[in-house]
Amino acid sequence: MTTTRREVVKGLALLPALGLMPALGMRPARAAEVDARLARATLAIHAAGGPQRLEVELAETPAQRRRGLMERDHLGAEAGMLFLYDGLQPPESGFWMYRTRIPLDIAFIDAAGRIAAIHTMTPCDSDDPGQCRAYPAGVAYRAALEVNAGYFADRDIGIGDCVSWPGAAASCAAES
């Protein structure tokens, strides 16, 4: 029997509701505890109208990526979260909005550092994670950037624009 990634994520999301975290030696992390451990960086999106700078939190570990922006009531206008992966993620992989309270835009960034897809995601009000819509990337990606909904459209940022940040393996900024 094979288990899909979404089934695993659903199962992990149910642990607190089922009261199984203490039995497995786990405890629910408070948003402030998780947020305090996230590294931060300034990134630039090189678009036709010039570079746009964002202060982002870096979600680098599986636990940080699972938590993402859950339980947040606010995200600064020039802030976001950059999800970083060690390898290329498949097009069917993506994100969902379970326990995420604010509408978000997400840009999937390819191995060259270019935006390959953008989606707008709406909060999921359900207590049942299985009722929350998944947003598959539709393209292979190496990183994903979440910002407030409307951010990309308001700044004329689109497919093909370059995203650069400290430590990025590829940088297309010189080509812009």
Q: pLDDT by residue (tens digit) across 45-86? A: 999 999 999 999 999 999 999 999 999 999 999 999 999 999
DSSP secondary structure letter of residue 86: E
State the Cα–Cα distance between residues 59 and 81, nearest whole angstrom.
7
* Burial status of residue 48 (CB atoms within 10 A of its CB: 0-12, 13-18, 19 or more): exposed
Contact between 54 and 162 under an 8 Å Cβ cutoff? The reply is no
pLDDT at position 38 over 70: yes
Question: CA-to-CA distance for 108 and 144, rounded, in angstroms?
Answer: 4
The count of C-alpha atoms lying within 13 angstroms of the C-alpha of 112, restricted to the half-sphere facing its C-beta, is 12
Report the pLDDT averaged over residues 14-43.
55
| pTM beyond 0.85 | no
Q: Domain 29-175 adopts which CATH fold?
A: Jelly Rolls (2.60.120)
Domain parsing of the chain, residue ranges? 29-175
Q: Residue 170: pLDDT band by 50, 70, 90 thresholds?
A: low
